[in-house]
Chains A and B, each alone.
Chain A
Amino acid sequence: MDLRSFLLRRVFHSIFVVVGISIVIFCIARLVPGDPARMALGEEAPDEVVERLRQEMHLDKPIYEQYYYWLTGVLRGDFGRSLVTHQPVLQDIKETLPATMEIALVAGVIMVVLSIILGSIAAWYRDTVIDGIIRVMAYFGVAIPGFVVATVFILVFGYYWHVLPVLGRLSSNISVPPRVTGLLLVDSLIAGNMVAFKDALLHLLLPASSVAMASTFQAARITRSSMVDNMQRDFVAAERGYGIPERRIALRYLLKPSLIPTVSVLGLSLANIIETSFLVELIFNWPGISRYGMQAILSKDLNAISGVVVIAGLGFAVANVIVDLVVANLDPRIRLGGVKGA
């Protein structure tokens, strides 16, 4: 199978997945008790005003008709208007998505680097004290939720040590670089504003580390396990037999095949950030899409819920494709098998 066919097939599947998710969420959001119009206007708003808003939102129509209105709007690039922010949902998404993507990017770097290093060390020194320490750390890291880590980080680095900022994306005294991508790290580099770059990076460290913690340790455990398995393989014994130094075996021949399960786990963890980082975003007052989505759910902001779910679904689908490509790149059996059509 060539790359184009592979990609087309994945995109085709992804469209079904995203449409399916949108239908399910659209229905669930409307079936949950609570009148979104009443919620938006307040408990004491006159009934006629609430009714008018319900009509504007087509909430007086059957659910399939509501979905038709929503879907035709989405196809025109109109996700409707948020009941909470009163802005078009698409605009809200444009404002909030880059903030979460920025966390995901930095968290991704942390996850990849730390998980590989920790996993490799644990595997190399397997069944020693070092391995034991890393494994215990990994148990804690996996078990402690991100928001707890975030709270601890705030207290340690913000409350006791005062070394890192704990609120928002940029300090109030730093000028915001002109928006190009919405990613402050990138925009500040484009603008050549290194002060803003540094400030944005410092603001990112705690939220990104909090989000990355569990997945990092999970991936480290998987890397260790995979490396330990591969160490027993014949090809490693053969390489030793040829007299290749252990260090070279580990770095050149052992690490690469051992990373295949790690990549899958990390890729999906990164894609999950939109859905799972809302508490961390709340704690750091981070204006991301995860927090926006959670606020939408709590306020029964129907258009916003559907918009965020579609974006999260798309993100997940794209991440899956990327993971497949990276795994194919790492594993020759997949590439060669694909070429042969097996």
Chain B
Amino acid sequence: MTLKQFRVSRRGLLAGIGLLLSVAILTSCSSRSTPSQTSNKPQKEMIVRMTQAWPVKLDPAMGYDNASSVAYANLYDTLVMVDPDGTIKPWVAKSWDYDATSKTYTFKLEKGIKFHNGDTLTAADVVFSAKRMLTIGGGWAFVFKNVIKDVVAEGEDTVKFILTGDYGPFLKTLVHLPILNQKQVMANIKKDGTYGEFGDYGKEWLVTHDAGSGPYMVKEMKTSEYLSAVRFPDYWKGVENGSPESFKIIGTTEAATVRTLMSRKELEITDEWQTAEAYSKLKELPGVKVADFVSGGLMIFHFNTSKKPLDDVHVRRALQYCFDYDSALKIFPGGKLTSGPVGSALPGYDASLPKFRQNLDKAREELKQSKYKDTIGNYEIELAWTAEVPDEEKVALLLQSNAEQLGIKIKVTKGPWLTWLDKVRKPETTPHIFTRVQTSISFPEAGAILDYFRSTARGQPTNCHWFADNVQKEIDTLVGDALATMDTNARYEKYKTITRKIVDLASDIWVVELPQRQAYQADYLIWPAAQAAEKGEPVNTLVGLRTYFRDMRLVPEKMP
């Protein structure tokens, strides 16, 4: 065959194109509305759809982002639950006690809890889940690192957690330990994995399946598109009338898409990553409200205290005083002034501390006390912000402009998160100031934030302060002691002492307490957490528990 012989019939080609176009035009024209409107669905679909940053991870040993946390809270059960006010209530564990001598928590489990595949939940499943998470080490496993020494089952309904020492917030951390069905996971392991007899520990299977007993179960997981889940009819806590029959987490945060879907009532809850401008537009849509969840998240400028001139506390305080907090609040609507590293929503927060405000006179006074008072102009301070979080640039430029009034030169540098993740691992490569948004809280009390100041977190974005060794040692001792305090009130008092110590160190500028904002269809979706936030009542600081679909109600007569 030659090239000459290789010919496409022009008429054939044109006929093909014509046919395709005709089909396209005919099918499009025959539709007067979108498919969702013309569907032959018998009833209104009782579904709650939300957008989220992607991907959602179904494996509790792999994810700790907001989207995955929402999935865990709804697909799995945990031993205990935490109420919005921080109190712990029984869940799979109906009771527990703690033996201070052996440092052991003993949990008695509810009987007859069924997994989604019909298997019964037993103590062995709890042990398996804990050991699996600790072995794989991803997700929220870091919360349990150096805390759990061993986990053992005693019979079908008793589990013992042997701790390495006293650990006050332990019960609260258990909300990050979803219980998996051991039999189901082990039946789906890949034998050539890296975990010995456990193969791949079911990691691949859990990408698209769940092995839980929660109120919803996975219907379909499209790893590049969405997670769809339906109500588990045999949920041991019962099925609530009016609660959503299904939920769908859609992997997009694109403003135009989200706004369009909300306007068409094809989306019930938005993600929390929209810009302030986008939320104000969403608010204008009929029936849509924006919930501001103040949950302990902060925008922070971390100081590298090992670099000149920030090794001088007076320079750090001067920067704290010169920053214009009120202008920052305008950048983040719904935000609050800060008084230290701990957000006001977290139990153990010290309400007696004064809020930070700009005070240029005090800033100048501090600078005068500094050893760099005559040479401060010789230093160029690098202020790094993360390219993936555009709002950080606004506050970075604000600080740059504020510092100029004191004669402090700041160079603003943008970089991808991965770059900063690497750079903050060493004091010499950590920028003078590193901008970060604190969103995830590992357990709902102040200790979760203060724990980041320990040397165990050194070299991570959460702790790139590089304190002098004696300072770091003192913080380690204080935080370690507080976390080891089993009496809740005494522990909270210790948190307050540490908070004051850290404020005194001026380790950061706590820019603003950030609300996590989500728009929702308030006219037909009853979302208790959003309503509580609107009334100023306590809201669960853990995003997963706040987005518990079983507690929500859809009002069919008001649905489109």
Tell me whether B223 and A85 are in contact (CB under 8 A). yes
**CB-nearest residue of chain A to B62:** A86
**A283 to B142 CA separation, bound complex (whole angstroms):** 34
Instruction: Judge whether B45 is part of the interface by a CB distance below 8 angstroms.
Output: yes
* Secondary structure class of chain A's binding surface, majority of residues: helix
User: Which candidate, A118-126, A194-202, A237-245, is the interface stretch facing chain B?
Assistant: A194-202
**A288 to B47 CA separation, bound complex (whole angstroms):** 25
**A205 to B25 CA separation, bound complex (whole angstroms):** 11
CB-CB contacts below 8 Å: B196-253 with A: 203-204, 207, 222-226, 228, 248, 250-252
Determine which residue in B41, B55, B250 has the highest number of CB atoms from chain A within 10 A of its CB, and name it: B55
Encoded as 1 (CB less than 8 Å from any B CB) or 0, chain A from 145 to 174 comes to: 000000100110011001111111101111
Known: A171-B39, A202-B28. A33 touches B418 (CB 8 A): yes
Please pick, from A52, A205, A300, the residue contacting B194 in the complex, using a CB distance under 8 A: A52
Tell me whether A49 and B136 are in contact (CB under 8 A). yes
Known: A155-B260, A287-B225, A335-B4. A198 touches B138 (CB 8 A): no
Number of residue pairs across A and B with beta carbons under 8 Å? Answer: 198
Instruction: Judge whether A43 is part of the interface by a CB distance below 8 angstroms.
Output: yes
CB-CB contacts below 8 Å: B99-146 with A: 136-139, 141-142, 145
Encoded as 1 (CB less than 8 Å from any A CB) or 0, chain B from 1 to 17 comes to: 11111111000000001
**A2 to B6 CA separation, bound complex (whole angstroms):** 10
Chain B residues near A163 (CB-CB < 8 A): 33-34
Tell me whether A292 and B8 are in contact (CB under 8 A). no
Instruction: Judge whether A178 is part of the interface by a CB distance below 8 angstroms.
Output: no
**A284 to B225 CA separation, bound complex (whole angstroms):** 10
User: Which candidate, B289-297, B395-403, B455-463, B473-481, is the interface stretch facing chain A?
Assistant: B455-463
Tell me whether B31 and A202 are in contact (CB under 8 A). yes
**A40 to B142 CA separation, bound complex (whole angstroms):** 14
Nearest CB of chain B from residue A77's CB, rounded to whole Å: 16
Tell me whether A42 and B139 are in contact (CB under 8 A). yes
Chain A residues near B254 (CB-CB < 8 A): 282-283, 285
Please pick, from B138, B207, B248, B252, the residue contacting A41 in the complex, using a CB distance under 8 A: B138
Chain A residues near B203 (CB-CB < 8 A): 86
**CB-nearest residue of chain B to A151:** B256
Tell me whether A198 and B252 are in contact (CB under 8 A). no
Determine which residue in A34, A42, A329 has the highest number of CB atoms from chain B within 10 A of its CB, and name it: A42
Instruction: Judge whether A4 is part of the interface by a CB distance below 8 angstroms.
Output: yes
Chain A residues near B421 (CB-CB < 8 A): 34-35, 38-39, 43
Chain A residues near B39 (CB-CB < 8 A): 171, 173-174
Known: A38-B421, A45-B137, A167-B266. A85 touches B224 (CB 8 A): yes
Please pick, from A112, A169, A201, A335, the residue contacting B27 in the complex, using a CB distance under 8 A: A201
Chain A residues near B266 (CB-CB < 8 A): 167
**CB-nearest residue of chain B to A3:** B1
Chain A residues near B28 (CB-CB < 8 A): 201-202, 205
Interface residues on A, range: 35 or more
Tell me whether B260 and A159 are in contact (CB under 8 A). yes
Encoded as 1 (CB less than 8 Å from any B CB) or 0, chain A from 13 to 40 comes to: 0000000000000000000111100111
**A40 to B418 CA separation, bound complex (whole angstroms):** 11
Tell me whether A45 and B138 are in contact (CB under 8 A). yes
Nearest CB of chain A from residue B292's CB, rounded to whole Å: 25
Tell me whether B138 and A84 are in contact (CB under 8 A). no
Please pick, from A34, A49, A92, A332, the residue contacting B138 in the complex, using a CB distance under 8 A: A49
**A23 to B476 CA separation, bound complex (whole angstroms):** 47
* Secondary structure class of chain B's binding surface, majority of residues: loop
Tell me whether B35 and A202 are in contact (CB under 8 A). yes
**CB-nearest residue of chain B to A81:** B204
Instruction: Judge whether A6 is part of the interface by a CB distance below 8 angstroms.
Output: yes
Chain B residues near A87 (CB-CB < 8 A): 204, 207, 223
Nearest CB of chain B from residue A329's CB, rounded to whole Å: 5
Nearest CB of chain B from residue A222's CB, rounded to whole Å: 19
Tell me whether B6 and A3 are in contact (CB under 8 A). yes
Known: A39-B418, A39-B421. A283 touches B257 (CB 8 A): yes
**A40 to B264 CA separation, bound complex (whole angstroms):** 36
Please pick, from B7, B250, B419, B460, the residue contacting A329 in the complex, using a CB distance under 8 A: B7
Instruction: Judge whether A268 is part of the interface by a CB distance below 8 angstroms.
Output: no
Instruction: Judge whether B352 is part of the interface by a CB distance below 8 angstroms.
Output: no
Instruction: Judge whether B59 is part of the interface by a CB distance below 8 angstroms.
Output: yes
Instruction: Judge whether B85 is part of the interface by a CB distance below 8 angstroms.
Output: no
CB-CB contacts below 8 Å: A39-63 with B: 39-46, 48-49, 52, 56
Encoded as 1 (CB less than 8 Å from any A CB) or 0, chain B from 359 to 403 comes to: 000000000000000000000000000001000000000000000
Tell me whether B138 and A202 are in contact (CB under 8 A). no
Tell me whether B224 and A292 are in contact (CB under 8 A). yes
Chain A residues near B260 (CB-CB < 8 A): 154-155, 158-159, 166
Offer 19 A-B interface pairs, CB within 8 angstroms, sorted by A. Answer: A33-B422, A34-B422, A42-B138, A42-B142, A43-B421, A45-B141, A56-B194, A85-B207, A159-B256, A163-B33, A164-B34, A165-B35, A166-B257, A168-B250, A173-B41, A202-B35, A282-B254, A291-B224, A339-B3
User: Considering the complex of A and B, which 7 residue pairs feature the smallest CB-CB distances, nearest first?
Assistant: A34-B418, A49-B137, A287-B224, A173-B39, A287-B225, A171-B35, A158-B260
B residues contacting A by CB (< 8 A) are: 1-8, 17, 20-21, 23-24, 27-28, 30-31, 33-36, 39-41, 45, 47, 54-55, 57, 59, 62, 64, 136-139, 141-142, 145, 194, 203-204, 207, 222-226, 228, 248, 250-252, 254, 256-257, 259-261, 263-264, 266, 388, 416, 418-419, 421-423, 457, 460-462
